[in-house]
């Protein structure tokens, strides 16, 4: 181990310039194409935001085409087919390719800087997620050029999106492309949860965290729980379209409404997933412009928890017209009304902060005003559509389109623009001129209200959404003309903002440190941010929005904080105990690499192979990607035991490879929560069809068989036991390979037994019951296969010297995986045994 | 014992986890009862009993949280979240259980 230049030097002798150069050598991304290998949070965060901005422009152009078409009755501008593709793509692009990635990019860019860290927990995973997003988004958008864009609406209702009614690849593009993109959302959410809980500046307890971190923690957990139902729904619908497994086909025991449930269990929290980070931006900005610390910090945190849960209990308020009984409708209606309360708590906290402070007016405040005006209007129409009798009248009309845009544009775009103008001096290092920001705001504000307020009226006059034209005698025409004019004004507003950004980048003066007197850690770093963000890491003794960034920034740049030296060329940051906030490990990041790009490209090719029905190629791609993950793991970690490493301030902590609570362990637990949600959704789907769908019981029951099930349980338990044995052996300083070998044998046995059970099932295309059992048992097989990958990686890494009695992280990860596989497998096998017993009861339904 | 382990963060979501459980169980029982035509008075009583159990669980969480959590940041946040969960559980389900179950 070597400590470079500044080792041992007294603090006053440290040279900030030399430290900067040393850190830049370690953390910097190469020039030109070498940038493609970057795994740095600033580079990737900015890349996410710029890519999302490009998709926003594409979505905006599509919106303008829609408004051009609807501005006059019986317009010949677009045909019905093209119009369907354009409105579907507009919604899809804005929801999946703009809003979510934009908030991910913002969070990825800002969180380490706000929390006093040098990077996010998993830089390569973040890079992999970015490439998945870019490739998946490109597949979806480029499909429009080939005339095969999705055309069943952004929520892809069956049976419209099912094979008989959408025989082309349009729906497949959506299902496969969106699932590909959602890999990015899940990897990013996992990274954020672990980063927020484990990678903060020492001393930053939970109660001292910047409020934005709380918002992003709740949002990320909502993504972890909210996206899996849609991923499962997409897999099931694609399996139905491609292979005929009838989960949504009522003629074979499926249910079209099942898709709506799976979609909206994701879709409604999605609205809050978009809004909550934007509210987090406002909670960061409001205290700065109010010149008073945020009022009600604890109440806001509690409100966020309430928000996170209540938003999941609302999904069926999109389904009021589907015939759900009054009692169940009331659950959803009451929860929809209750969710207003946490929103109101936040808004009142901002108002109280202003009331207690000495507010000052500047451009970000202008956009805050725009948010309040528009979002409150959207909230009020939200209360209207939460009421069942009103919603029955307004459902599927332009009133709902207006409400949705008031909530999403008001709740996301305006706060985003406020945040953009607030953090622009940090990101570019240039002071804001704001020459065009004010006219840009008014154009957007007036244009938006003109466009969408009119839609309330056309909706109340009965204009359905998604019609490509109208006869013209209904009294809708002038409202539509005004709406389209508003759309033009709105577009001009965004063009003015773009021009303002270009002028800022070209002519802005150099920004001074902390130009807004912000009081948060992000203003203590160099502007524009360096790759390493903090030359040394601060110790936080107060709430993280009450520090003095100017003084602290100078101290940190001089290396007077933690990790103020470089060591072994390592990219280091500190990990802390989740609740006490004390440093408990040095996290050593892997270096920049092209592997995330190559892996994501291979996944992309696999998706394309599935799209073009080249299934052997897709299967080959699956195995290649598996091998890549195993291969990638071979260079991670350390080959020596280091024990406690000095981190400055007289403290020493072990590297993460030797720590008890290493970030990958927490990440695996978070990932398994998402995984478990997929399984729960699949079990729900099975029981839902049993309870609700027509054509039950099935002609032939799918029985797993007691003996194969008992053998499978024994093999699962054995695999889990072997993982524990290997861990114990390594902990004693022994050789874990015999246990690993036994684990591989048990894993192979599980896959063999699962294969035998699958082979003995009735044709899964015959009915939803065998199709569900097929997927459930397949789930066990897939997990056993991934367990084998873990074990092979463990054996290779043990041979290569990455594992020791102290460095047991790999085997601990394997144990957690194998335990989950065993528990979930046993639950599944019990369900598989229970379903044939329950299926005949469906005959007793009235 | 006053817990310091990271797992004590789970206290923040405990109340609403009970709310979620009430949602899942009541919605499932409502679906099952309607599908199989369970007789109304008994059926409704079961639903109210389930609601009562969940309210009781939140009350229990109040008591345990005071025993387990030291004063500081988490305790008041947990108490606020528990109050919110209690009110949400009562308001989301109690009025709804008085309505027509299967139409």
Domain boundaries, chain B: 11-98
Tell me how far apart the alpha carbons of residues A36 and A592 are, in angstroms, rounded to a whole number.
Answer: 9
Q: What is the pLDDT of residue A846?
A: 60
- Indicate yes or no: CB of B9 within 8 angstroms of CB of A310: no
Min Cα distance B80 → chain A (Å) is 6
Residue A493 covered by a domain: yes
Min Cα distance A505 → chain B (Å) is 42
- List the structure tokens of A548: 């003095």
Phi-psi sector, A543: left (phi>0), alpha (psi -120 to 50), beta: beta
Average pLDDT over residues A750-774: 96
Residue A394 covered by a domain: yes
Last residue of a domain, one of A447, A477, A507: A507
- Indicate yes or no: CB of A327 within 8 angstroms of CB of B30: yes
- The count of other CB atoms within 10 Å of the CB of residue A652 is 12
Tell me how far apart the alpha carbons of residues A440 and A413 are, in angstroms, rounded to a whole number.
Answer: 13
Q: Does B103 touch chain A (CB under 8 A)?
A: yes
Check whether A2 has a pLDDT greater than 50.
Answer: no
Number of compact structural domains in chain A: 2
**Which residue out of B69, B92, B103 would a mutagenesis test of the A interface target, given it has the greatest number of A Cβ atoms within 10 Å?**
B92
Those residues with Cβ within 8 angstroms of residue A752's Cβ, 6 or more apart along the chain or in another chain: none
Q: Does B9 touch chain A (CB under 8 A)?
A: yes
Tell me how far apart the alpha carbons of residues A725 and A272 are, in angstroms, rounded to a whole number.
Answer: 44
Closest CA to A115 of A212, A30, A48: A212
Phi-psi sector, A314: left (phi>0), alpha (psi -120 to 50), beta: alpha
Average pLDDT over residues A734-750: 97
Q: Does A322 touch chain B (CB under 8 A)?
A: no
Q: What is the pLDDT of residue B100?
A: 84
**Which residue out of B7, B96, B97 would a mutagenesis test of the A interface target, given it has the greatest number of A Cβ atoms within 10 Å?**
B96
- Indicate yes or no: CB of A326 within 8 angstroms of CB of B99: yes
Q: Does A665 touch chain B (CB under 8 A)?
A: no
Residues A145-187 have pLDDT tens digits of: 999 999 999 999 999 999 999 999 999 999 999 999 998 999 9
- Indicate yes or no: CB of A846 within 8 angstroms of CB of B101: no
Question: Residue A150's domain spans which residues?
Answer: 40-507
How many CA atoms lie within 13 Å of A323's alpha carbon, on the beta-carbon side? 4
B80 neighbourhood in chain A, CB within 8 Å: 298-299, 302
Check whether A5 has a pLDDT greater than 50.
Answer: no
Q: What is the pLDDT of residue A369?
A: 94
- Indicate yes or no: CB of A313 within 8 angstroms of CB of B19: yes
Q: What is the pLDDT of residue A704?
A: 80
- Indicate yes or no: CB of A197 within 8 angstroms of CB of B96: no
Min Cα distance A619 → chain B (Å) is 37
Those residues with Cβ within 8 angstroms of residue A485's Cβ, 6 or more apart along the chain or in another chain: A450
- Indicate yes or no: CB of A338 within 8 angstroms of CB of B92: yes
Q: Does B99 touch chain A (CB under 8 A)?
A: yes
Q: DSSP of B64-96, one letter per residue?
A: HHHHHPPTTTHHHHHHHHHHHHHHHHHHHHTTG
Closest CA to A403 of A384, A388, A382, A387: A382
Q: Does B45 touch chain A (CB under 8 A)?
A: no
Helix (H, G, I), strand (E, B) or coil at A117: coil
B88 neighbourhood in chain A, CB within 8 Å: 306, 309-310, 335, 338
Q: Does A334 touch chain B (CB under 8 A)?
A: yes
Q: What is the pLDDT of residue A675?
A: 98
- SS3 for A295-344 is CCHHHHHHHHHHHHHHHHHHHHHHCHHHCCCHHHHHHHHHHHHHCHHHHH
CATH code (residue A239)? 1.20.210.10
Average pLDDT for chain A:
94
Confidence at A460, pLDDT banded by 50, 70, 90: very high
- List the structure tokens of A287: 């205290």
Closest CA to A141 of A180, A183, A115: A180
CATH code (residue A835)? 1.20.120.80
- List the structure tokens of A808: 């047991």
C-alpha A16: how far from chain center: 37
A580 neighbourhood in chain B, CB within 8 Å: 4
- The count of other CB atoms within 10 Å of the CB of residue A12 is 7
| pTM for the model | 0.95
Tell me how far apart the alpha carbons of residues A224 and A201 are, in angstroms, rounded to a whole number.
Answer: 25
Residues A534-569 have pLDDT tens digits of: 999 999 999 988 899 999 999 999 999 999 999 999
Residues A807-821 have pLDDT tens digits of: 999 999 999 999 999
Residues A696-729 have pLDDT tens digits of: 999 998 888 899 999 999 999 999 999 999 999 9
Q: Which residues pair with A576 in a beta bridge?
A: A583
Q: Which of A205, A327, A577 sits opposite B100 (nearest CB)?
A: A327
- Indicate yes or no: CB of B101 within 8 angstroms of CB of A305: no
Q: Does A691 touch chain B (CB under 8 A)?
A: yes
Q: What is the pLDDT of residue A809?
A: 95
Average pLDDT over residues A687-698: 92
| DSSP symbol at A658 | G
Min Cα distance B93 → chain A (Å) is 6
The question of ipTM being above 0.90 is answered as yes
Check whether A844 has a pLDDT greater than 80.
Answer: no
Tell me how far apart the alpha carbons of residues A74 and A470 are, in angstroms, rounded to a whole number.
Answer: 6
Closest CA to A264 of A681, A703, A786: A681
Long-range pairs, A79-87, Cβ under 8 A, ≥24: A79/A468, A80/A468, A80/A469, A81/A151, A83/A468, A84/A151, A84/A152, A84/A153, A84/A466, A84/A468, A85/A144, A85/A147, A85/A149, A85/A150, A85/A151, A85/A170, A86/A62, A86/A144, A86/A149, A87/A62, A87/A153, A87/A466
| DSSP symbol at A430 | B
Question: Which H/E stretch holds residue A647?
Answer: strand A645-648
Q: Does B24 touch chain A (CB under 8 A)?
A: no
- Indicate yes or no: CB of B81 within 8 angstroms of CB of A305: yes
B37 neighbourhood in chain A, CB within 8 Å: 846
Min Cα distance A127 → chain B (Å) is 28
Average pLDDT over residues A435-456: 96
Closest CA to A92 of A5, A51, A153, A43: A153
Q: What is the pLDDT of residue A505?
A: 87
Last residue of a domain, one of A454, A486, A507: A507
Tell me how far apart the alpha carbons of residues A778 and A764 are, in angstroms, rounded to a whole number.
Answer: 12
Residue A761 covered by a domain: yes
Q: What is the pLDDT of residue A261?
A: 96
Residue A339 covered by a domain: yes
Counting residues of chain A whose pLDDT is more than 90, the rounded percentage is: 87
Check whether A10 has a pLDDT greater than 70.
Answer: no
Q: What is the pLDDT of residue A323?
A: 87
Tell me how far apart the alpha carbons of residues A427 and A40 are, in angstroms, rounded to a whole number.
Answer: 14
Q: Which of A305, A313, A325 sits opposite B100 (nearest CB)?
A: A325
Which residue positions in chain B have pLDDT lower than 70? 1-5
Q: Which residues pair with A464 in a beta bridge?
A: A397
Contact indicator for A599, A128 with CB cutoff of 8 Å: yes
Q: DSSP of A469-528, one letter per residue?
A: ---S-SS-HHHHHHHHHHHHHHHHHHHHHHHHHHHHHHHPPBPPSSTT---SGGGGS-SS
Check whether A70 has a pLDDT greater than 50.
Answer: yes
Check whether A455 has a pLDDT greater than 60.
Answer: yes
- Selected residue with higher pLDDT from A388 and A99: A99
Q: Degrees (nearest 5) of the Cα angle A235, A764, A150? A: 30
Of the listed ranges A32-41, A489-498, A596-605, A610-619, the least confidently predicted one is: A32-41
| Helical H segments across A661-705, by residue range | 663-692
Residues A392-422 have pLDDT tens digits of: 999 999 999 999 999 999 999 999 999 999 9
Last residue of a domain, one of A507, A533, A567: A507
A220-238: buried (b, 16+ CB within 10 Å) or exposed (e) per residue? bbbbbbbbbbbbbbbbbbb
- The count of other CB atoms within 10 Å of the CB of residue A649 is 12
Residue A565 covered by a domain: no
A302 neighbourhood in chain B, CB within 8 Å: 12, 77, 80-81, 84
| DSSP symbol at A96 | I
Counting residues of chain A whose pLDDT is more than 70, the rounded percentage is: 98
In angstroms, what is the C-alpha Rg of chain A? 28
- Burial status of residue A33 (CB atoms within 10 A of its CB: 0-12, 13-18, 19 or more): exposed
Tell me how far apart the alpha carbons of residues A418 and A285 are, in angstroms, rounded to a whole number.
Answer: 8
Residue A532 covered by a domain: no
Q: What is the pLDDT of residue B101?
A: 82
Tell me how far apart the alpha carbons of residues B35 and A378 are, in angstroms, rounded to a whole number.
Answer: 37
**Is the peptide bond between A697 and the residue preceding it cis, with omega within 30 degrees of 0?**
yes
- List the structure tokens of A273: 């997933």
Those residues with Cβ within 8 angstroms of residue A103's Cβ, 6 or more apart along the chain or in another chain: A219, A273, A274, A277, A278, A412
Of the listed ranges A9-18, A679-688, A758-767, the least confidently predicted one is: A9-18
Per DSSP (E only), the strands in A138-256 are: none
Residues A269-326 have pLDDT tens digits of: 999 999 999 999 999 999 999 999 999 999 999 999 999 999 999 888 889 998 888 8
- Indicate yes or no: CB of A326 within 8 angstroms of CB of B92: no
Of the listed ranges A44-53, A99-108, A148-157, B71-80, the least confidently predicted one is: B71-80
Phi-psi sector, A559: left (phi>0), alpha (psi -120 to 50), beta: left
Residues A628-645 have pLDDT tens digits of: 999 888 888 899 999 999
Q: What is the pLDDT of residue B72?
A: 85
Residue reference for tokens 């169940």:
A328
- Indicate yes or no: CB of B92 within 8 angstroms of CB of A335: yes
B8 neighbourhood in chain A, CB within 8 Å: 579
């Amino acid at each position: 181990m070597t400590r470079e230049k500044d080792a041992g030097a007294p603090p006053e002798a440290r040279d900030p310039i030399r430290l900067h150069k040393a850190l830049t050598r370690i953390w910097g991304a190469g020039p030109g194409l070498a940038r493609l290998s970057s795994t740095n949070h600033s580079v990737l965060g900015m890349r996410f935001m710029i890519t999302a901005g490009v998709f926003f422009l594409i979505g905006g152009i599509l919106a303008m085409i829609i408004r051009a078409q609807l501005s006059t009755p019986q317009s010949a501008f677009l045909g019905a087919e093209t119009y369907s593709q354009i409105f579907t793509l507009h919604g899809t692009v804005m929801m999946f390719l703009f809003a979510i990635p934009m908030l991910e990019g913002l969070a990825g860019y800002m969180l380490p800087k706000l929390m006093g860290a040098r990077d996010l927990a998993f830089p390569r995973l973040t890079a992999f997620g970015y490439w998945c997003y870019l490739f998946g988004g490109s597949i979806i958008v480029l499909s429009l050029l080939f005339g095969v864009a999705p055309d069943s609406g952004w929520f892809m209702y069956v049976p419209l999106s099912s094979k008989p009614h959408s025989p082309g690849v349009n729906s497949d593009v959506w299902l496969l492309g969106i699932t590909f993109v959602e890999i990015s959302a899940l990897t990013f959410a996992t990274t954020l949860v672990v980063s927020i809980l484990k990678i903060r500046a020492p001393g930053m307890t939970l109660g001292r965290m910047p409020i934005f971190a709380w918002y992003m923690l709740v949002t990320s957990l909502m993504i972890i729980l909210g996206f899996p139902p849609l991923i499962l729904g997409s897999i099931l619908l694609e399996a139905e379209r491609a292979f005929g497994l009838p989960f949504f086909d009522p003629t074979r025991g499926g249910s079209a409404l099942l898709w709506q449930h799976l979609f909206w269990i994701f879709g409604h929290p999605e609205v809050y997933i978009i809004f909550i980070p934007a509210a987090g931006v406002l909670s960061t900005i409001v205290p700065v412009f109010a010149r008073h610390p945020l009022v009600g910090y604890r109440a806001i945190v509690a409100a966020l928890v309430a928000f996170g849960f209540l938003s999941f209990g609302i999904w069926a308020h999109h389904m009021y017209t589907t015939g759900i009984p009054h009692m169940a409708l009331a659950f959803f209606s009451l929860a929809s009304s209750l969710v207003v309360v946490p929103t109101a708590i936040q808004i009142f906290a901002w108002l109280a902060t202003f009331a207690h402070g000495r507010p000052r007016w500047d451009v970000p405040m202008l956009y805050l005003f725009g948010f309040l005006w528009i979002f409150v209007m959207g909230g009020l129409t939200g209360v209207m559509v939460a009421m069942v009798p009103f919603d029955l009248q307004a459902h599927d009309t332009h009133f709902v389109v207006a409400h949705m845009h008031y909530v999403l544009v008001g709740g996301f775009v305006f706060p985003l623009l406020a945040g953009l103008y607030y953090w622009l001096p940090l990101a570019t290092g240039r002071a804001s001129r704001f020459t065009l920001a004010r006219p840009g705001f008014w154009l957007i504000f007036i244009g938006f209200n003109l466009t969408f307020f009119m839609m309330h009226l056309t909706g109340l006059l009965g204009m359905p959404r998604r019609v490509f034209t109208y006869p013209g005698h209904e009294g809708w025409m002038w409202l539509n003309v005004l709406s389209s004019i508003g759309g033009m004004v709105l577009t001009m507003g965004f063009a003015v903002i773009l021009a303002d950004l270009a002028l800022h980048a070209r002519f802005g003066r150099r920004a001074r440190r902390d130009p807004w007197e912000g009081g948060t850690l992000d203003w203590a770093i160099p502007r524009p941010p360096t790759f390493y963000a903090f030359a040394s890491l601060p110790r936080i003794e107060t709430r993280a929005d009450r520090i003095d960034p100017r003084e602290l920034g100078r101290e940190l740049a001089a290396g007077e904080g933690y990790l103020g030296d470089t060591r072994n060329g390592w990219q280091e940051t500190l990990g802390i105990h989740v609740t006490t906030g004390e440093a408990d490990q040095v996290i050593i990041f892997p270096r920049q690499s092209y592997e995330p790009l190559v892996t994501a490209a291979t996944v992309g090719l696999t998706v394309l192979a599935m799209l073009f029905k080249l299934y052997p190629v897709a299967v080959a791609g699956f195995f290649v990607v598996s091998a890549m993950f195993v291969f990638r793991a071979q260079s991670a970690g350390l080959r020596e035991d280091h024990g406690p490493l000095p981190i400055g301030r007289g403290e020493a902590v072990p590297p993460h490879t030797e720590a008890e609570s290493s970030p990958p362990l927490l990440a695996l637990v978070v990932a398994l929560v998402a995984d478990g949600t997929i399984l729960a959704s699949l079990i729900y789907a099975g029981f839902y069809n049993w309870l609700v769908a027509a054509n039950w019981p099935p002609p032939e029951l799918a029985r797993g068989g007691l003996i194969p099930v008992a053998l499978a349980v024994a093999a699962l338990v054995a695999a889990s036991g072997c993982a524990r044995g290997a861990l114990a052996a390594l902990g004693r300083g022994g050789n874990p390979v015999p246990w690993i070998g036994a684990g591989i044998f048990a894993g192979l046995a599980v896959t063999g037994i699962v294969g035998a059970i699958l082979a003995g099932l009735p044709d899964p295309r015959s009915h939803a019951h065998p199709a569900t059992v097929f997927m459930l048992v397949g789930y066990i097989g897939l997990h056993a296969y991934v367990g084998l990958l873990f074990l092979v990686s463990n054996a290779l890494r043990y041979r290569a010297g990455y594992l020791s009695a102290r460095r047991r992280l790999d085997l601990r990860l394997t144990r957690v995986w194998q335990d989950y596989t065993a528990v979930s497998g046993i639950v599944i096998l019990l369900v598989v045994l229970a379903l044939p017993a329950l299926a005949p009861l469906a005959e007793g339904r009235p | 014992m006053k817990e310091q382990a990271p797992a004590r963060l789970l206290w923040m979501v405990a109340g609403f986890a009970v709310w979620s459980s009430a949602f899942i169980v009541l919605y499932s029982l409502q679906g099952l009862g309607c599908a199989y035509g369970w007789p109304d008075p008994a059926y409704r009583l079961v639903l109210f009993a389930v609601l009562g159990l969940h309210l009781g669980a939140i009350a229990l969480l109040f008591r345990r949280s005071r025993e387990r959590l030291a004063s500081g940041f988490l305790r008041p946040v947990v108490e606020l979240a528990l109050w919110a969960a209690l009110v949400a559980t009562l308001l989301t389900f109690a009025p709804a259980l008085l309505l027509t179950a299967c139409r």
